[in-house]
Structure 1
Amino acid sequence: MPWLDAEEKEAWTGLISLVLLLPGRLEAPLRATSGLTLFEYMVLSQVSEAPDRRLRMSELAFLASGSLSRLSNVVTRLERRGWVRREPDPDDGRYTLAVLTDEGYDLVVAAAPDHVRTVRRLVLDPLTATERRTLARIAAKLRVRPADLA
């Protein structure tokens, strides 16, 4: 197996730096202002944008980029705090819905402006429009789906 050449190494070390360091930099302000982890925020925000603030757990796991078991543990914590509840899907009882409570919605709405400012400052503003489109294409190609984590 050949070693990475200089260009490949630069791409790899740049990516792994983002993967390891960026989540903590995005999470720190959320913890400070809202007491939320980045994953908790992603879960709440995805449900807040869904019709009637309801989303199947399996779809939510995909949208929040987490495994179903990780999501289940986080939803349990969010339920204890009164921000989410689970309900059977009335269209198909084999599925469970995550439903955002009014308190959960208020929390994500309050947390969103600071989070968006942080995302802009750390991720979007340093990039040109072309670079943002390229980043989106790269992310789509490299996306790990929750089923891949099982």
Structure 2
Amino acid sequence: MNEAGDALSPRELRAWVAFLTAGHLMDHEIERQLKRDGGLSHAEFEVLVRLRSAEGNRLRMSDLAREVMVSKSRLTYQVTQLERAGLVKRTGCESDRRSVWAELTHDGAEALDKVRPGHRRVVREALIDVLTPAEIDLLGDALSRVAGRLRER
């Protein structure tokens, strides 16, 4: 294993470049499908998905920012766009006056339902169908370890 700061070996560089390239291409395909099917950005889709899976279809803005892994200011912008479109609404938190809830609206749930089949199709065609079941398990395990290390920082 290389010391920190050492150049990547050809094997390591190949893995890194493949990871970056696949990630960028996947993000581009997903973004294109979401825009086409529902006028949503990938970031907006992620917000809607997190709200849909939350208890009561709502989360505190600070919790939502952690879940979608963006800054609070970036999330505020995304939620403002979604709120203008009628897909999310913000309400004050009764128990903590400093907190604000973001809540999925009926229209937001419908928008999510509209784009989800296409999203699943893109993920399946571009990633899942390309890999064997063993590779899917390996990829899931490996990227979970990477994410775990980064969350510790």
Shorter-chain-normalised TM-score: which range? 0.7 to 0.9
What is the aligned partner in structure 1 of residue 34 from structure 2? 30
The equivalences for 1:1-150 within 5 A come to 2-143=6-147
Distance (Å, rounded) in 1 between the aligned partners of 2:100 and 2:137: 34
Instruction: Tell which deviates more after alignment, 105-114 or 11-20.
Output: 11-20
Identity of counterpart residues, as a percentage? 34
Distance (Å, rounded) in 2 between the aligned partners of 1:120 and 1:129: 13
Structure 2 residue ranges without an equivalent (≥5): none
Cα displacement string for residues 124-143 of structure 1 (whole angstroms, at most 9, x for unaligned residues): 22122332222222222333
Structure 1 residue ranges without an equivalent (≥5): none
TM-score scaled by length of structure 2: 0.85
Instruction: Tell which deviates more after alignment, 51-60 or 87-96.
Output: 87-96
Distance (Å, rounded) in 2 between the aligned partners of 1:102 and 1:123: 31
TM-score scaled by length of structure 1: 0.87
The count of corresponding residues between Structure 1 and Structure 2 is: 147
Deviation (angstroms), 1:3: 2.5
Indicate the structure (1 or 2) with the bigger Cα radius of gyration: 2
Cα displacement string for residues 32-85 of structure 1 (whole angstroms, at most 9, x for unaligned residues): 111111111111111012111111222222222322221110000111111111
> For the structure 1 residues 130 and 66, does the alpha-carbon distance in structure 2 shift closer, same or farther, using more than 3 Å as the test?
farther
Cα displacement string for residues 96-142 of structure 1 (whole angstroms, at most 9, x for unaligned residues): 21101111111111111111111111122212233222222222233
Distance (Å, rounded) in 1 between the aligned partners of 2:135 and 2:93: 40
Report the residue type matching 1:75 in the other structure.
Answer: V
Q: Which runs of 4+ in 1 moved over 4 A?
A: none
Distance (Å, rounded) in 2 between the aligned partners of 1:57 and 1:127: 36
Distance (Å, rounded) in 2 between the aligned partners of 1:111 and 1:42: 12
Report the residue type matching 1:48 in the other structure.
Answer: R
1:43 is paired with a residue whose SS is: helix
